[in-house]
Every structure is written in structure tokens, then in C-alpha cells.
Structure 1
Amino acid sequence: MNTPFPIRSVRAHFPALNPSDGSLPLVYFDGPGGTQMASQALMGMMTYISRGMANLHGPFPTSLRTDALLLEARAAMADFLHCQPQEVAFGQNMTSLAFAIARSLGALVQPGDEVVVTEADHRANVDPWASLARDRGAGVRYIPLNPTTYTLELDRLEALITPQTRLVAVGLSSNVTGTVTDVEPIIARAKAVGALVVLDAVHAVPHLPVNVEQLGCDVLLCSAYKFFGPHIGIAVIAQALFEKLPVYKLEPAPAHIPDKLETGTQNHEALAGLLGALGFIESLGEGNNRKECLQRGMQRLEAYESELAAYTEQLLQNVPGLKLYRAPAGTKKTPTFAFTLEGVPSWEVSRWFAERHQMCVADGHFYATTMAEKLGVLAGGGWVRIGLAPYTSREELERFHAALLEFVAERRLRANTPT
């Protein structure tokens, strides 16, 4: 599709960008922490609620509609991620699902076994598996982060992933640097020794087409509030593993997949919102069916964001005292930028942007604490981070750049002014 990206019509789909109370709109650069919600998601939730809510498996209309909603949400996520509907389970959030799956995998890990995680990942894809290892008397190994390229050192896989390895957990993309990890050699090495592979796709799914079948992982986790929907977590578990996975559940609750992992009543209105969010992505693409439209919608979204990312990187290169934590050219990356300003606490930067320019700019370690420790940024409060989304405009980036230069100039002026 060679037509220009319809940024104006895309922005019209996000009510937060167009406040109805007359207030000035915020500029949202906090997508890695959670995107704004598309109007299709909002309307999906409101429609479900206003028509009458119900629990599952009743003979009355509201319950029957809820049954159908759950099935449709599974089918839509299967189309989006290229898996089977029975492999899709929903939960409170990615972290809760990861801990639930880790508990269920306990019997597969024995004393003396090993679990492999990475130095780059969000702790939600480290601590569930490290806790599993600790509880079972297993060891934990880390795939190291290269502190210069902000990529994983994949040349050490053979030594790190051994016949003692039972599980390997890795993120598809860093929520700090945006680095997209080449997971193919990791998965291949893990499969060669019979280990399970868990992929954290929370930060990748909003920016890249993801194909579970092609990846060949055992578990993939993501969250709808990162791709224009409500707060709900999604787990894709390969059917062969899912069927034999023991779970903690109520005795009368279903024992079949995928229901057995969904403890208690699900957030049905969030499922309606999830369908709406996928509908927004689908509207960006063309095709003969939902799967094709979702795929092409993501490709179109990725192309637009890549163009914005290149422009952003160009803007940041001429900011005095700014250190950008970004992989070199040739490394695939999402439009996510983490930086520090020399001598300035990260929280001071984000507060200034909020108060002076109504821009949502994040600061902190973003739960990638191992990376933060290794790169020595914790003393200054971590990083400043901006993340782009399909509703981000070039004009907003230019405003951000001008404001950033203004901040640096003010800071230097104060430093040079006698007290």
C-alpha cells in the first residue's frame, strides 16, 4: 500500500487527543507504558455494558452474547497473532498470566535444572521464571546485554542454553531501547536441547506484525492496553503444552483449554474493548478477511512509525549533553527512545515537559532494572523515554524537539547564573 498514512483520520479515532471539555490536548509520548484507547475499543466496551452484562453459560440473551463475545475475542486474537483460537487465554495482565503459567510449569523443573532469562528484559519476563527456578532448586542464567550496542550477546547461546536448560524467556523487543531481538537463534538453540521458550511480546505487538506459528515459541504474552485497547492480558500457549499444563483452579471449573487457565470471571467489557482495538488496526489494512487486514494494517502502521523514528533519531542527534540509548543502524528497532541528559535527573525532565508543555514524557527504570544497573543510570533516576504511536504526528515531534532544546538552554543558563 503506497498511499500516505492517514494521520489525521487516525488521530480522529482517539478521543484523548481531542478533549471535548475545551482543554488543551496533551501530547502523548508514553505509548510504551500504555497507548491511548481507540474509539472502536471505547465504543465496544460501552456497547457491551449498555446492552446488559452477564456471566457465561446462561440461557438468556445477555449471557449468550457474552459467550459469543469470548469466542470472537479468541478468534480475533488468533487472526492477529497467527495462532489457533484454542491457544488464546485471557487474564488480568501479562505479569499475572506469567506467574500463573510459571506455577503450572513447576513439575517440569527439577533441582539442578536451569532457567535462562536476559539482562535486557522487563522484570515481568524475568521474575516469574526466576521464582520458578528458586522454588524448584534450579539455577538461573542470563543472556548478557552488550552495553555498547544494547543488543543481546547471542554468540554465547551454546554455553548458556545447555541440556540442563528447561525454559528460556526472552523479550521480542526492549521497552526501553526499542531493540528488536533476533529470537530465531535463541529459539533454535532452546529447541535443540528440549527447552521451552517464552516470549514477552508486550512491547513488540503494538509495533510489529507477530506470527506465533512462524516463531515456534511455546508461550507468547502481550497486553491489549499497549495496542490501543483496555487493560487485559493475553497468553498464547502452544496446544501441545497447554493441554498437559496443570493449573491451579477451582475443582468444578473447566479442565479443557483455554478455559482452564482463566480463573474466575473474566473482564468481559475489556474483551469487547479488545475487539474494538483490533478493529482499529484492521481498518488500516486491506484484504479478503480479517486476518489479512490485520496483517496489512500492522505493516502500514510499522512503516509509518519507522519513518517517524528515523526523523526522531535525527532530531535527537543535535541536542547538547544528550546520550541516546539506541542500537546502531542495521539493528531492527521499535520507535522507542531512551536517553539521559548530562547532570540532570530524569524525573526533572519529565516533570518540566508535563508542566511547561503538556507533554507526557516518562522517566525511570521501566522495570528493566538489570539493564538499568548495568548501564549505570539508576543514580540519576533512570532514563527519560518517549515512545511513538500511529497517532503521533511529525508536528508533535518538532514541538518536542524545540521544547527539549529550550530545557537544555534554561538548564545551562541557571548553571551559569551566579547565586
Structure 2
Amino acid sequence: MKNLTPFDPVPLRAHFPALQLEVGGETAIYLDGPGGTQVPQSVIDAMSSYWQHGGSNSGGPFLTSRYTDDITNAARAAMMDFYNARRPEEIVFGQNMTSLNFSLSRALARTWQPGDEIIVTRLDHDANISPWLLAAQDSGAVVRWLDFDPTDCTLRLDLLPDLLNEKTRLLTITYAANAVGSITNVRRAVELAHAAGAIVLVDSVHFAPHGLIDVQALDCDFLISSAYKYFGPHTGILYGKYELLDELMAYKVRPAPAKPAGKWETGTQSFESLAGVTAAVDYIASIGGKASTRREQLVQAMRQIKAHEMALSQRFLSGAVQVPGLRVYGITDVEQLAERTPTFAVSVEGLSAEAVATKLGEQGIFVWHGHYYAVAVMERLGLLDEGGLVRIGFVHYNTFEEVDRVLHAITQLK
């Protein structure tokens, strides 16, 4: 493996008030990022500033309403840069990824006939499975499952051609697995699906804080994420090719706009959260330093973030093999770090996942346990009824010292 030259996260940590929390006299370690990251002060300020300024609902002919429209437009432009969408109208905001996915599944299901087929994967979060299972049930479509290899938890894209045929209407696929960190070759999956005439939706919720998203390069039809996974507020963001958003029938109230993206944004949006979305994107872009455009800053930032997170992963995996009874699921080869995020599902011999998470939590080390809504993953691994696994997730604000501390804490568990 080539030497990695990560950036120093310490100066960036000063931007995050929550990272100063202490438990028992020790600085807390946030390793629960896959369930939601902490936010920098700039996001907090942006959201509170909206309230302090005084906002109104959108579309009104007066100052505070125009201010809200400006906030919304700025957020749409920010996410256009973050996704590398072609136009701001391809960006749709919603309560969260799950709600947006249910809305989209209902709209797409109207276009299916009994006997049509869709493909879901066993590596996905259930928010990218259940909406489609229900949509298939309502429309009479057949569900086909794309499996993953339980030895390293990588998606079996080699099996995808056998599932695709002239009846396939949709492939819905994860960019990175929230449970085990495996990154999918989405571009290849899109090529295969499009060759069969199918639409592709990508769940990028877990991938978004760890890698650069480029919907034009992927050529996916839809892509979805949640800003609270990348240092922002609890808001979901859907990308859709303009022509698809335009032609599909959205379930909406009658006075709602008829054109993207407004027709897909049901009800009043959380405008203060949209201010936070822009601030979150700008925070990530700031890591990239000076560049002529925000998109170029994001490209540079994600390159640095990836390098640092790969170094964290290398440190964790190298130390994990020295911890008796610790098992890491997923990719463990340090030569394949580019193929995974720094998210690790682990078990400790003799202890339940809940017991491990509880004991670590008492020491100020925050990790998740259970299935983390990756129900199909835990079922495939045979661990769902056994309480699932412990999930240790690093992001760019984590340090080598925190990696060492969690490994040491695990060695002391009894």
C-alpha cells in the first residue's frame, strides 16, 4: 500500500462545538458518524440566523418571503455543486431520505405493470428496500434480489447481468453500505441496467461524507442522500434527471408547482434547515482551499478527506488484528481501502453487541449496535436474531489517537 499523507483534523475539530464534550474527564469520541455526524458552528449559525432574520413561507411579494426564496435557491445551488447536477431544478428537498424515497417509489410504481421486475440489493439500508418492496406489492411487480459476498461484504455485481432482462424497470442500489462500509461500483451497475432499459436509483446516504459524488459521471437517474450524514441538518436531498422529474406524476396538493423541483417538495420545507444545508456544503468545500468554483473546492476537499479516512482505516485494521476476540466484518485488506469507507462492523467474542456499545459508551466512546436498519445485511450474515454487530464509524474529524483509544478500550472489555 502506498504511503498516505492525510491532513491534520485537529484545526477542523475546533469548528465543532460538540467535539469538546467530556465524559468522565475524557474528551468524548464520536464514532457514531454513520448514524449522523456532528455539525460545525457555521451550520448552527446559518440556521439560527434564518430564525433571527425573520422568515416567511415562500412565494410571497414581501421581504421575508423573498429572503426565504433566496435561502432555498442558495441551498439548491449548493447541492447542485455537491452532486454535480446539470441544473438546480434537478435538486429536490424533503424531510429525509426515507420520506423522499417513499414518494418516489409511489410515483414510479404507477408506471409499472403486473409482471414488471425491479432489483434491490441485500447490502442496502432498509430505507432503500422497503419502499420498493411495498411499491412492487401494490403494482404486481416482481422483486429480484442482488446478493453480496458474506466473506467480505462486497456486492456481487457479477450476478447483476443474470437478473436484468427486458422486464426490468428499476435497479435501486447502495453507493456504500451503511453497515459494513463496502463501496459499490455504481457506474458499472448503471451501465448494465441502462443497457437493459432500466432506471437506476442510487442511495448515497452513507457514501456522501466519504467520497465525491458526480451524478453526471455516474449517469444515474436518481440519487438520494441526507445532509445530517455530512455535517448538516436533518434534511433529505434527491437528485433526479430533469426529464424524469418532469414527466413522472408526483403526489402533491393541487396548488403546488407543476414543474421540478417544486412539484416534488410536498408541504412547507424546513427553510432554516436549507440554510444549514448550504453552510454544510460550504464547510466541506472550505477544506479544499482556494479554487475558482465551489465544485472544484469540493473535488479537492474530498480528495483530502479520502486520504485521511484511508489512513484512519489502515490504523484501525492494523490494530484490530492485535485485539484478542475482535472480528471485523467486510473488507479487511489494507490494499483495498479505496473500496470501503472507514465504517467497521465488529463483534467481540463473549460479549453481545449491546454490551460492547454500552461499556464503550460509559467511557465516552460513542458507537452503535444492532442492525442500524441494514436488516437484509444482518439476515444474510445470520446475525439479526443475535443482536447484530457493533458499528465503529470514523469521519474526517476523527484522529489517530481516537483510533488507538477505541482499540485499547476494546482490549479492556470483560
Which of the five TM-score ranges fits, normalised by the shorter chain? Answer: over 0.9
| Residue aligned with 1:265, SS | coil
Letter in 2 for 1:299: R
> Corresponding residue for 2:219?
216
Residue 23 (structure 1) shift = 7.2
Determine if the alignment matches structure 1 residue 404 to structure 2 residue 410: yes
> Corresponding residue for 2:33?
31
Q: Is contact 1:337-1:385 (8 Å) kept? A: yes
Q: Is contact 2:23-2:364 (8 Å) kept? A: no
Determine if the alignment matches structure 1 residue 121 to structure 2 residue 145: no
| Residue aligned with 1:108, SS | coil
Letter in 2 for 1:389: V
Letter in 2 for 1:369: V
Letter in 2 for 1:302: K
Letter in 1 for 2:354: W
- Range with greater deviation from structure 2 (314-323 or 229-238): 314-323
> Corresponding residue for 1:62?
64
> Corresponding residue for 2:297?
293
Which of residues 384, 387, 401 in structure 2 aligns to 1:395? 401
Q: Is contact 2:151-2:330 (8 Å) kept? A: no
Residue 112 (structure 1) shift = 0.3
Residue 60 (structure 1) shift = 2.1
Supply the distance in 2 between the matched residues of 1:223 and 1:235 (Cα, whole angstroms): 9
Q: Is contact 1:163-1:193 (8 Å) kept? A: yes
Scaled by the length of structure 2, the TM-score of the pair is 0.95
Question: Residue deviations 1:299-328, cap 9 Å, x none?
Answer: 111111111111111111111111110225
Question: Residue deviations 1:216-247, cap 9 Å, x none?
Answer: 11110000000000100000011111110101
Which of residues 66, 85, 89 in structure 1 aligns to 2:92? 89
Report matched runs for 1:260-279 at 5 Å: 260-279=263-282
Residue 378 (structure 1) shift = 2.1
Supply the distance in 2 between the matched residues of 1:268 and 1:20 (Cα, whole angstroms): 32
Scaled by the length of structure 1, the TM-score of the pair is 0.94
Supply the distance in 1 between the matched residues of 2:22 and 2:53 (Cα, whole angstroms): 25
| Residue aligned with 1:403, SS | helix
Question: Residue deviations 1:145-187, cap 9 Å, x none?
Answer: 1111211112211211111110000000001111001122221
Cα 1:21–1:346 change in 2 (3 A) is: closer
Determine if the alignment matches structure 1 residue 235 to structure 2 residue 238: yes
Q: Is contact 2:5-2:307 (8 Å) kept? A: no
Question: Residue deviations 1:30-85, cap 9 Å, x none?
Answer: 00000001111111101111111211112222111110111110111111110021
Supply the distance in 1 between the matched residues of 2:176 and 2:109 (Cα, whole angstroms): 27
Supply the distance in 1 between the matched residues of 2:16 and 2:332 (Cα, whole angstroms): 33
Report matched runs for 1:97-176 at 5 Å: 97-176=100-179
Q: Is contact 2:93-2:269 (8 Å) kept? A: yes
Q: Which aligned runs of 4 or more in structure 1 are off by greater than 4 angstroms?
A: 19-24
> Corresponding residue for 1:8?
10
Runs of 5+ consecutive residues of structure 2 not aligned to the other structure: none
> Corresponding residue for 1:78?
80
> Corresponding residue for 1:336?
343
Q: Is contact 2:176-2:340 (8 Å) kept? A: yes
Which of residues 375, 383, 387 in structure 1 aligns to 2:389? 383
Count of residues paired in the alignment: 406
- Range with greater deviation from structure 2 (109-118 or 18-27): 18-27
Letter in 2 for 1:393: T
Letter in 1 for 2:84: H
Cα 1:272–1:301 change in 2 (3 A) is: same
| Residue aligned with 1:288, SS | coil
Residue 380 (structure 1) shift = 2.8
> Corresponding residue for 1:361?
367
Q: Is contact 1:114-1:138 (8 Å) kept? A: yes
Supply the distance in 1 between the matched residues of 2:297 and 2:126 (Cα, whole angstroms): 33
Determine if the alignment matches structure 1 residue 187 to structure 2 residue 190: yes
> Corresponding residue for 1:350?
357
Q: Is contact 1:16-1:25 (8 Å) kept? A: no
Superposition CA RMSD, Å: 1.6
